[in-house]
Chain A
């Protein structure tokens, strides 16, 4: 499992190995393993995909093909705090695109990316089931509703302050 050493901890490598051992005999296990692997690592870097390909005896291009087919899989690491701006219909008509723009500007990265210090990553999602509060975004498990672009700064500064304290 030397490939995982480059992109994670020994605990993560052991967890991945356990998942592969558990599911390798099930036909069509690749999807499940990828989901679990993303849970373990937060994303699916080269080393993780290489390990999965090697363990399952399939080509890396096959693994990569599945990873890039499904939008749930990410090739980029996620931040300590995951910002997810809802672009579902209700949020969108209430100006979610402007909220996303403000988040991108405030954090200094584009949607789908992660900051260099690893504090924030930004994604968009389609409906979190809180349309009454549209437009909404989630930071980790917290939902922020009735957003306007100018509210973004205070919310994110809260996480920055918390980080400085820690």
Chain B
């Protein structure tokens, strides 16, 4: 038990463990101190000077996010001195901020804007140098606008926490800016496209490279058949963009809303998550039986794949050859579905709705042959619905379109860390032992950085590990290489907590991010849906049975390899 410290904040007595920051202590008694550079579990450097407070025993104002409490300390968070200092800091930030608030997509959801309004700032009090830096449009997944950046370094901390380190502060003093080494563009850098920087950004300096306009054009083109499909985690987060509580599953309303945008069909990507499992579980068992390259890593996360290609190309043979569910769906639609329905693939415009920015990059990879025409994030879908005046929360629940509507719970939990592993275990175990009945694998659930388990089925021992967040993937690779650990099957999701916490998910203000456990709340919505599904194993979906019967024959067949599997290319970067 840590020593407890008694202090007063705004005359309210508070008792907290020694070492607690003033900011956290204040939160424990519901006193909000404004912050910009602080982000719980990600960044805490005390550089933005928004959280300055008066504290006895300290000279001048102190940064509450990094200043520890002390016995008998009296803290005042809302004095004239504090307010004036914060206002000036904000006005200085605004002096070099591109104030395009009328067209900025973060308007209304911008932490700088909110604080500027709350502190009644004069945006033109100080005149900064002219803002004329070009946008970084090098990458198909993210746009960086240096002139909106407020140097809070939250993106840098998020990127470093991913052990990618594509961006950092460059220069000194007034000239400090965030960028890649040697002013490389993001596409030339070691960036993997996970988008964690975007959800960490308090302003509009980082955003996805939007393809919404292409989708609108396709929707109004009579020669195009537009189909949408949505990734498992989107239903667990879209509601946040419409002010629903974190963790609300809006599957039915989401389908109804997309249908009102006017595509021909709204499909459920859970089905290609199921298909991925059929292919991946088969591949795993084949590797085990044929003494192939082991351990095998999952390959459904394109940021993880890019990370391997750039940082650990020697690990490429360990990646499953399965395409991601997004690309499997693209492939399935433009082959099987088109053939079955007599549609020319050229007339089909496939839109995937994904929680991810790396999937925008993935659909541009040459191996994917343009099977997905536009990949839009949860945020972009929300924006489209708002533009179209579709009131998500007031719509009735509607069902996904056939023939892909009946998916298993295993496909649904793909959106959370451990979900792919659990879905694969459900199927692989039964492939080994037809009488194996267990469908719940609690050992691989939850948001722990690395989870491990060993399962023994029909005389086969399978040692598994699950990691989310690339720093944890890095740890696993290091431990494998040193011989410290040995596994057979490893699930990696680049974003901490998995796709539910993806770089394309709704950007929530720090006030929510600093208090709620987004990863667990959003994941719970998916596990709840899985629990309520009669079909828990991917192999149980009648759709999967039909797809194999009508088209692929069997998992890992020649045809399945042509459409559902892919290759990787070493691209070593430092």
Cβ contacts B168-196/A at 8 Å (1 or 0 each): 11111000000111100000011000000
Q: Provide the residues of chain A in CB contact with B190, threshold 8 Å.
A: 59-60
The chain B residue with its CB closest to the CB of A71 is B172
User: With a CB–CB cut-off of 8 A, which chain B residues contact A65?
Assistant: 168-170
Within 8 A of B (CB), among A74-111: 75
Which of A53, A58, A62 has the most chain B CB atoms closer than 10 A to its own CB? A62
**Interchain nearest-CB distance for B571 vs A (Å):** 15
Given known A49-B181, A60-B190, A61-B181, contact A68–B171 (CB-CB < 8 A): yes
From B158-166, B221-229, B518-526, the one touching the partner chain is B158-166
Q: Is B172 a contact partner of A60 (Cβ separation < 8 A)? A: no
The B interface, classified by DSSP as helix, strand, loop or mixed, is loop
**Residue in chain B with minimal CB distance to A60:** B181
User: Which of A58, A59, A60 has the most C-beta atoms of chain B within 10 angstroms of its own C-beta?
Assistant: A59
Residue with the greatest number of chain B CB neighbours at <10 A, chosen from A3, A53, A60: A60
Instruction: Provide the residues of chain B in CB contact with A49, threshold 8 Å.
Output: 181
Question: Does B180 lie within 8 Å of A69, measured CB to CB?
Answer: no
Kindly state whether residue A40 has any CB partner on chain B within 8 Å: no
Q: Contacts A49-B181, A60-B165, A61-B181; is A68 near B170 (CB within 8 Å)?
A: yes
**Are B168 and A50 in contact (CB-based, < 8 A)?**
no
**Cα(A64)–Cα(B172), bound, Å:** 12
On chain A, which size bracket covers the interface?
10 to 19
Asked if B172 and A59 sit within 8 Å, CB to CB, the answer is no
Give the dominant DSSP class at A's interface. helix
Chain B residues within an 8 Å CB radius of A147: none
Chain B residues, Cβ within 8 Å of A3:
574
* B167, CB-defined interface residue at 8 Å: yes
Q: In the bound complex, what is the Cα–Cα distance between A60 and B184 (angstroms)?
A: 11
Q: Is the CB of A50 within 8 A of B165?
A: no
Question: Judging by beta carbons under 8 Å apart, are B165 and A58 in contact?
Answer: yes
- With contacts A53-B574, A54-B574 taken as known, whether A59 is within 8 angstroms of B166 at the C-beta atoms is yes
| B417: min CB distance to chain A, Å | 24
Q: How far is the CB of B167 from the nearest CB of chain A, in Å?
A: 6
Most chain A C-beta atoms within 10 Å of own C-beta, residue among B169, B179, B181? B181
Q: Counting CB contacts under 8 A, is A156 at the interface?
A: no
Q: A50-B574, A53-B574, A54-B574 are in contact. Are A59 and B168 (CB under 8 A)?
A: yes
Q: Which residues of B contact A62 (CB under 8 A)?
A: 160, 165, 168
Q: A3 CA to B189 CA in the complex, in Å?
A: 16
Q: Which of these, A61, A71, A75, contacts B168 with CB under 8 Å? A: A61
On chain A, the residues within 8 Å of B172 by CB distance are: 68-71
B180-A61 in contact (CB<8A): yes
Which residues of chain B from 357 to 405 have any CB-CB distance to chain A below 8 Å in the complex? none
How far apart are A56's CB and chain B's nearest CB, in angstroms? 11
CA distance A69 to B182 in the complex (A): 13
Report B-chain residues with C-beta under 8 Å of the C-beta of A69: 169, 171-172
Residues of A with C-beta under 8 A to B171: 68-69
A7, CB-defined interface residue at 8 Å? no
Given A49-B181, A68-B171, A68-B172, decide whether A61 and B166 contact each other with a Cβ distance below 8 A: yes
Ranked nearest first, the 8 interchain pairs of A and B with the lowest CB-CB distance are A59-B165, A61-B168, A64-B181, A60-B181, A65-B168, A61-B181, A68-B171, A50-B574
- Ordered by A's residue number, 15 sampled pairs between the chains whose C-beta atoms are within 8 Å are A3-B574, A46-B182, A59-B160, A59-B166, A59-B168, A59-B190, A60-B181, A60-B574, A61-B166, A61-B167, A61-B189, A64-B182, A68-B171, A68-B172, A70-B172
A residues near B (Cβ < 8 Å) are: 3, 46, 49-50, 53-54, 58-65, 68-71, 75
* Additional pairs, 19, CB under 8 Å, beyond known A59-B181, A65-B169: A46-B181, A50-B574, A59-B164, A60-B190, A60-B574, A61-B166, A61-B180, A61-B181, A61-B189, A63-B181, A64-B168, A64-B181, A64-B182, A65-B170, A68-B171, A69-B169, A69-B171, A69-B172, A75-B182
